[in-house]
Amino acid sequence: MNISQAATESLLPAKTIRYYEEIDLVTPARRDNGYREFSSTDIQQLKFIQRSRRLGFSVEECRSLLMLYRDEHRASSDVKAIAREKIIDINERIAELQSLSSRLQSLVEACPGDTSAACPIIDGLAHDA
């Protein structure tokens, strides 16, 4: 299977697949003409990566997950540990963003939003929020 087909099936852009090969996440075979030849195993793994990325894992985390995916003797506790760390990361990020959102919201509510130059948002940014 050529790269464009692999892209279609894995829901990843061809460019991204080439990049994943460059960083040794996947290693499709090559034909005599230099074209990449994707096996069904390659496709499975690309799909695995695509879904992991979509779930918020970094590419390096995907590499770890992929190694566990390939490892028939893995311990599910190892997978669980990675997922739990990621949940913590994500929840921290959510808390940060919620704080930002509410601070901005306060500023916006205080701003007249008219043609005058007086602006609590600018003031808030200028002198210690």
Partner DNA sequence: GCTTGACCTTCCAAGCGTTGGAAGGTAAAT
Partner DNA sequence: ATTTACCTTCCAACGCTTGGAAGGTCAAGC
Tell me which residues touch a second copy (CB under 8 A).
44, 47-48, 51-52, 54-56, 65, 68-69, 71-77, 79-81, 83-84, 86-87, 90-91, 93-94, 97-98, 100-101, 103-105, 107-108, 111-119, 121-122, 124-126, 128-129
How many degrees, rounded to 5, is the angle at CA 87 between CA 84 and CA 91?
Answer: 145
Could you say which of a second copy, DNA, none residue 27 binds, taking C-beta under 5 to 8 angstroms by partner kind?
Answer: none
CB of 65 to a second copy, least distance (A): 7
DSSP state of 56: T
Sort 62 into a burial class: Cβ within 10 Å, 0-12 / 13-18 / 19+.
buried
Query: How far apart, in Å, are the Cα atoms of 113 and each of 78, 108, 110, 118?
Result: 52, 8, 9, 9
Contact between 115 and DNA by CB under 7 A: the answer reads: no
Q: Say how far apart CA 98 and CA 94 lie, in whole Å.
A: 6
Q: Quote the least distance from Cβ 4 to DNA, whole Å.
A: 3
Which residue from 41, 63, 42 is spatially nearest to 52, judged by alpha carbons?
63
Cβ distance to a second copy smaller for residue 23 or 94? 94
Of 27-35, 71-79, 88-96, 118-126, the segment contacting DNA by CB under 7 A is: 27-35
- Where on the chain is the footprint of DNA (CB under 7 A)? 2-5, 13-16, 18-19, 32-36, 53, 58-60
